[in-house]
Amino acid sequence: MEYEIKQFGKFKYVEEGSGEPLVLLHGLFGALSNFKDLIDHFRQTHQVIIPMLPLYELDLLHTTVSGLARHVDKFIEAKGLNHVHLLGNSLGGHVGLVYTLKHQDRVKSIILTGSSGLFENGMGETYPKRGDYEYIRKKTELTFYDPKVASKELVDEVYSIVNNRLKALKIIALARSAIKHNLGDELKDIRVPVCLIWGRNDTITPPMVAEEFQALLPHAELHWIDKCGHAPMMEVPAEFNAILKDFLVRHKS
Q: Could you report the per-residue pLDDT of 110-141, keeping only the tens digit for each? A: 999 999 999 877 544 444 456 689 988 998 99
Mean pLDDT throughout 36-61? Answer: 95
pLDDT per residue over 72-123, tens digit each? 999 999 999 999 999 999 999 999 999 999 999 999 999 999 999 998 775 4
Query: What is the C-alpha to C-alpha distance for residues 213 and 221, in angstroms, rounded to an integer?
Result: 10
Residue 133 counted as domain residue: no
Query: Which domain, by its residues, includes 32?
Result: 6-120+182-250
- Confirm whether 151 is domain-assigned: no
H helix runs in 105-236, sequence order: 133-141, 152-162, 165-180, 207-216, 232-235
Q: Does 147 fall in a domain?
A: no
Which has more confidence, 221 or 133?
221
How many domains is the chain partitioned into structurally?
Answer: 1
State pTM to two decimals: 0.95
Residue 159 lies in a domain: no
Give domain status of residue 164, yes or no. Answer: no
Average pLDDT score over the chain: 92
The CATH number given to whatever domain includes residue 81 is 3.40.50.1820
Residue 161, in any domain of the structure: no
User: Percentage of the chain with pLDDT > 90?
Assistant: 81
Find out whether 178 and 116 touch, Cβ atoms under 8 Å. Answer: yes
Name residues whose C-beta falls within 8 Å of residue 59's C-beta, 6 or more positions apart in sequence: none
